[in-house]
Amino acid sequence: MTMSNIYFDHNATTALDNGVLQAMLPWMQQQTGNPTSRHIYGRSARDAIEHARAQVAEACGAYSSQVVFTSCGTEANNFAVKGISAIKPASTAKQILTSAIEHPCVSRPAAAMQQLGYISRKVEVDANGQVDLANLKTQLKSPTSLVSVMLANNETGVIQDIDSIAETARIAGAFVHTDAVQALGKIALKFADLNVHAMTISSHKIHGPQGAAALILDKKLDIQPLLLGGGQEKGLRSGTENVAAIVGFGAACELAMQNRAQFAAHTMALREQLELGLEALNVNIFGQTVARIPNTSFFAIDGIEGETLVMALDRKGYAVASGSACSSDSSEPSHVLLAMGIPADLARGAVRVSLGAHNTATQVKNFLATLSNEILRLKQMSAIAA
Amino acid sequence: MAYSDKVLDHYENPRNVGTLDKNDPNVGTGMVGAPACGDVMKLMIKVNDNGIIEDAKFKTYGCGSAIASSSLVTEWLKGRTIDEAYAIKNSEIAEELALPPVKIHCSVLAEDAIKAAVADIKAKQLAAKEAA
């Protein structure tokens, strides 16, 4: 990796902020106690976690008591989907509904619940990638234990009307969970306003360390934990806390809240510049006409394979993604685009640029020039391009 | 996923990109794959009267491994007889390019493209004989 490489993949992960690292260092360099221990070392680790809990709660409009720390977003989503749907026995509320565009760490645990007698079904989305409320209402006629819909999609960046989705689901007697991992730090986030029972957020998307995330949970739910043991996190998530990572998550949340308005204005201006350039190159941009998180642009070029373009851009020093990072080892087209009714051959061309606070207008300008050259080069080689 | 140096070399400097005259009785065309499946390869070979492949060109829509697989076979095909070409196995291509398991299908597609091109030239030759 050379210094001239440009990082345009912030929805995958972000660099650790130096201030966050400074907050974490004491918990990595000095003797840290087990937060469960009663001595001074243990108590001071416990205090650090509780301080982080307050910072996390503040950043997403929740109470500290609602924050359950986990090791990653995937764990929080598994905990929510498995734990909440199991509150209602399969004999009375068989159905688990997830949107067709969920991350696999929601859709797979939902599918796994079928072994316990539940039925996992997908809620359709429209051509812009927004949940079809009429379809949700129809499906909710079957007794449903849980509806899980992500707040902002990791690929398209499209934002869901979670408030309406939650209202519809609650009327039908279902619990509601939202994966807000891509929303935190990018749009205003208030747990209470979303009207959901549970919400997932993660540290490493907001310049915090990997290894910390949280499920924000309505404590009225009698939810069974994934991990049983010493009873940490009020019995909801046993296991010795990752003190340094949790402290870093808290610091990153405070930073994200301070910087959110500036981040939104900066990345939205860069994205407008990017998409103006993309339009000139005859590129298909997905979800462009609806509300999106400000930093994300998902697009495809007819006749060019997304993975090939990602590789081509990587060779020229630009880090972008094709589909979601978790599935880039497989050559299946994006399930998000297929759910939106995008033809499979165009979906295969999809490339995601997700901007960050440190990206600049010059980087976007140079990227567009490089992209234009690579499109020409790949089209000459392509067996299907016009 | 990491690409091998050989894949990157073929990807950066693809050999024999292009097309041959498909109406030439000595040119066979193999078009395999589908855009919806992720890869499409178009392989064209020109065969002389002794059954030796004189020229080969490709165009590929697909990932870097698919491009590299087709580029590599165009190099291999030149100078071989069509029967020798027909005997090329995907495992040889995958081995030469050090393709990972998820990319083996690219080498399979390249083998299919060779077989389709050879079948096309044989059909053309047969049709020419019958016409004569």
Domains of chain A are 6-14+260-385 (3.90.1150.10), 18-254 (3.40.640.10)
Query: Is the CB of A311 less than 8 angstroms away from the CB of B11?
Result: yes
> 10-residue block means of pLDDT along chain A (386 residues)?
81 97 96 94 97 98 97 98 94 94 97 96 98 97 97 98 97 97 97 97 98 96 95 96 98 98 97 97 95 98 88 93 58 90 91 97 98 92 75
Query: Is the CB of A304 less than 8 angstroms away from the CB of B67?
Result: no
Dihedral, A376, A381, A384, B4 alpha carbons, nearest 10: -110
CA-closest candidate to residue A81, choices A255, A199, A220? A199
pLDDT, residue B38, reads 74
Alpha-carbon distance of A290 to A157, in angstroms, equals 10
Length of chain B: 132
Contacts of B60 in chain A (CB under 8 A): 381-383
Looking at residue A17, the DSSP 8-state letter turns out to be: P
CA-closest candidate to residue A53, choices A181, A282, A212, A204? A212
Q: CA–CA distance from A370 to each of A121, A271, A318, B80 (Å)?
A: 42, 16, 9, 39
Contacts of B108 in chain A (CB under 8 A): none
Length of chain A: 386
* pLDDT greater than 90 at residue B37: no
pLDDT, residue A385, reads 65
- Chain B: residue whose CA lies nearest to A384: B61
Alpha-carbon distance of A76 to A110, in angstroms, equals 13
Contact by Cβ (8 Å): A213, A70: yes
Burial B3-31 (b: 16+ CB within 10 A, else e): bbeebbbbbeebbbbeebeeeeebbbbbb
Whether residue A60 lies in the annotated active site: no
- Chain B: residue whose CA lies nearest to A347: B36
Residue B17 touches chain A, beta carbons under 8 Å = yes
Mutate which: A304, A322, A331, vs B, most B CBs within 10 A: A331
Please name the amino acid found at residue A148.
S
Looking at residue A32, the DSSP 8-state letter turns out to be: -
Q: CA–CA distance from A308 to each of A60, A171, A293, A311, B106 (Å)?
A: 38, 46, 26, 5, 13
Other residues' Cβ atoms within 10 Å of the Cβ of residue A58: 15
Alpha-carbon distance of B7 to B14, in angstroms, equals 10
Whether residue B63 lies in the annotated active site: no
Query: Is the CB of B63 less than 8 angstroms away from the CB of A328?
Result: no
Q: What is the mean pLDDT of chain B?
A: 92
Burial A357-380 (b: 16+ CB within 10 A, else e): bebeeebbeebbebbeebbeebbe
Query: Is the CB of B67 less than 8 angstroms away from the CB of A308?
Result: yes
Measured CB to CB, residues of chain A less than 8 Å from chain B are 303-305, 307-308, 311, 315, 328-331, 333, 343-345, 348, 380-385
Contacts of A345 in chain B (CB under 8 A): 34-36
Token pair listed for A79: 């905990």
Token pair listed for A135: 């379809």
Query: Is the CB of B67 less than 8 angstroms away from the CB of A381?
Result: yes
* pLDDT greater than 70 at residue B9: yes
* Gyration radius of chain B's alpha carbons: 14
Q: Which of B1, B35, B42 sits opposite A345 (nearest CB)?
A: B35
Q: Which of A311, A329, A382 sits opposite B64 (nearest CB)?
A: A311
Burial A245-259 (b: 16+ CB within 10 A, else e): bbbbbbbbbbbbbeb
Burial A164-179 (b: 16+ CB within 10 A, else e): ebbebbeebebbbbbb
Alpha-carbon distance of A342 to A333, in angstroms, equals 10
Alpha-carbon distance of A159 to A162, in angstroms, equals 8
Contacts of B40 in chain A (CB under 8 A): 383-384
Q: Which of B36, B63, B105 sits opposite A308 (nearest CB)?
A: B63
The size of the A-B interface in CB pairs under 8 A is 59
Separation in Å, CA of A182 to nearest CA in chain B:
24
Residue B104 touches chain A, beta carbons under 8 Å = no
Token pair listed for A163: 């408030």
Contact by Cβ (8 Å): A56, A214: yes
Contacts of A377 in chain B (CB under 8 A): none
Q: Which of B1, B14, B102 sits opposite A381 (nearest CB)?
A: B14
Query: ipTM > 0.85?
Result: no
φ/ψ region of A209 (left if φ > 0, alpha if ψ in -120 to 50, else beta) reads beta
Burial A297-318 (b: 16+ CB within 10 A, else e): bbbbbbbbbbbbbbbbbeebbb
Q: In sequence order, what are the beta bridge partners of A123?
A: A99
State how far Cα A101 lies from the chain centre: 12
Catalytic residue selected from B40, B63, B82, B106: B106
Q: Which of A305, A330, A381 sits opposite B102 (nearest CB)?
A: A330
Residue B12 touches chain A, beta carbons under 8 Å = yes
Adjacency order of strands within the sheet including B39-47:
B27-34, B39-47, B53-61
pLDDT, residue A330, reads 53
